[in-house]
Amino acid sequence: MKKIILVLLSAFALVQQACYKDKGNYEYNMPVAPTISGLDTLYTVALGDTLIIQPTVTTTDPNARFFYSWTISIPEQFRDTVITGFPLKYAFGLDPKKYAARMTITDSSNGMKYFREFMIDGQTEFSVGTLVLTLENNTSQLNFVKPDGSVISRVYRAIHGVDLPGGPQQIIPLVHQALTTKPTFCYWVTGTETNDAGVRLATNTLIQINTLRKNFFDPPASAVPGQLESKADGVLRGVINKKLYVGAWKTFYGFPIYGYFGVPTAGDYELYRQVIFNQAPYIIGYDSKAKKVVAFTNFGDPAYIGTDYQVTTTTPFDPKNVGLDLLHFQQIGGNNCFAFGKAADGTLYELKFGADFMGFIQLSPQYKRAFAQPGLITPLTRWAGAPGEIFYFNSGDKIYRYNPLNQEIRPLITDFGGKTVSMVKMIDNGNTLVAGIEGSLYFLDVSTGKFGDIVKKYDGIPGAPVDIAIKN
């Protein structure tokens, strides 16, 4: 037994000595990575053209043997397109939009792989420019202004052989903000007439995908939209048939049913055409039948609570009993809401109230007062709110800047040649106002200290502009 123990101890000592002598002086010969130059982060290609990408690849390793592959991701179809060889030569035939792509270099001498990421932007003649919705001879028309100012007139009619739904109202781009490329899925063009007053158009071809009624799981007898907008998930939301709707977003965005409407948010209400959406979990609307402010909670799916909100004071006015026919309803900044509307006696009022969420919805009425110059407001007046709680509205051949803080109403300096202004729209974070008159679009500088200096102008547009969407 003692001999066995002595043998084990001797073996253990030898192992310890071997470990002690191993100083860990290992030498690793890492492969030399190739140098890649001339590979851009974004490549633009027109539909039907051949994309050629030929970066410069160099190495100091004489044994390197490189093979090349190029992968274009198409998540909507659950597949990738892989092209091998160098340089990349690819006849672009995918849907014209942005795609994530990867260049892979494989060194067959050692099995190493090297990757570089880039984007491919497939385009058509409608990929960059400005979509303009107009009213021409009582007909809705869609036009396209190229970056050089040239106009492609009556695009929808030319492509489809028919006119858009009447009473032109909005162009709404659906953009998915959560995706890296922030793709524009499509454009909705809406009107106020007919029982199917909206069409969905492909982003870069403007080919019709479906209509508003067909964007329902169970199509209603009619679909008349109020004001709509893109949710951050890239689905449509807003007022249809005086009810609140939000498109289906709890599925993969590439599915054909993504963005479809189910049933409206249940409740006994008839909404004014505009509602106020917030980052916070609530939505504010106005019941145009009961003439009161109503609210919805929004924890994933909206739920109507009507007037089951708290009010800090009713001295200025009672949100649960407003009694006005609204002309404009908007939230500006963090939580201040403005409403402009007429009372039964014809008096035009301006209301302001705060809205906040504290585990419950709280409204804080601030004032109700007669509008300073009601004679300027006509049935054709359109409103646009800007940061800093400034409003712009059109009246006849002029656009006015209204500051509720001091009730100053001031005309912009731009002369529209006596033509009636048909559109006002804020872009560029409130620094630029886009105005429309018969045949023309004006881009006006309304940044701090500016009162409508012309930045640029597009002419030759058929009809009077109603709305635009800029495609960069």
What CATH number is attached to the domain comprising 441?
A: 2.130.10.10
Domain boundary pick from 77, 102, 123: 123
**CA–CA dist 424, 443 (Å, integer):** 10
Largest CA distance in the chain: 117
Q: Indicate whether 132 and 69 sit together in one domain.
A: no
pLDDT the model gives residue 300: 86
Closest to 425 (Cα-Cα) out of 395, 405, 399, 451: 399
Q: Indicate whether 461 and 415 sit together in one domain.
A: yes
**CA–CA dist 214, 119 (Å, integer):** 33
Q: How far is CA 339 from CA 238, 330, 369, in A?
A: 18, 7, 11
Q: Indicate whether 66 and 131 sit together in one domain.
A: no
Q: Has residue 248 been placed in a domain?
A: no
- Of the chain, the percentage scoring pLDDT greater than 70 comes to 94
Q: Indicate whether 50 and 61 sit together in one domain.
A: yes
Contact 217, 261 (CB under 8 A): yes
Q: Has residue 116 been placed in a domain?
A: yes
Give the confidence band of 280 by pLDDT, cuts at 50, 70, 90. confident
Query: What is the mean predicted confidence (pLDDT) over 380-402?
Result: 96
Q: How far is CA 262 from CA 248, 265, 356, 379, in A?
A: 7, 9, 28, 34
Q: What pairs with residue 454 in β-bridges? A: 444
pLDDT the model gives residue 8: 45
pLDDT the model gives residue 30: 76
Q: Has residue 424 been placed in a domain?
A: yes
pLDDT the model gives residue 177: 86
At residue 161, does pLDDT exceed 60? yes
Please write the tens of the pLDDT for every residue from 169-228: 999 999 988 877 777 889 999 999 999 999 999 988 898 999 999 999 999 999 999 999
Q: Has residue 71 been placed in a domain?
A: yes
Q: Has residue 66 been placed in a domain?
A: yes
Q: Indicate whether 400 and 458 sit together in one domain.
A: yes
pTM above 0.75, yes or no: yes
Q: Has residue 90 been placed in a domain?
A: yes
State residue 428 phi and psi, 5-degree precision.
55, 45
At residue 246, the 3 state secondary structure works out as: strand
Query: What is the mean predicted confidence (pLDDT) over 155-181?
Result: 90
Q: Indicate whether 77 and 131 sit together in one domain.
A: no
Q: Has residue 118 been placed in a domain?
A: yes
Domain boundary pick from 69, 95, 123: 123
Query: How many domains does the chain contain in total?
Result: 2
Residue 74 sits in a domain whose CATH number is 2.60.40.10
Domain that holds residue 447: 126-136+376-472
Q: Indicate whether 399 and 466 sit together in one domain.
A: yes
Q: Indicate whether 82 and 131 sit together in one domain.
A: no
- Read off the tokens for 163: 């006119």
**CA–CA dist 159, 52 (Å, integer):** 31
Q: Tell me the pLDDT of the chain averaged across its residues.
A: 91
At residue 324, does pLDDT exceed 80? yes
Domain boundary pick from 123, 144, 171: 123
Q: Indicate whether 132 and 54 sit together in one domain.
A: no
Q: Has residue 50 been placed in a domain?
A: yes
Q: Indicate whether 472 and 396 sit together in one domain.
A: yes
Give the confidence band of 27 by pLDDT, cuts at 50, 70, 90. low
Q: Indicate whether 58 and 132 sit together in one domain.
A: no
- Of the chain, the percentage scoring pLDDT greater than 90 comes to 79
Q: Indicate whether 130 and 114 sit together in one domain.
A: no
pLDDT the model gives residue 18: 47
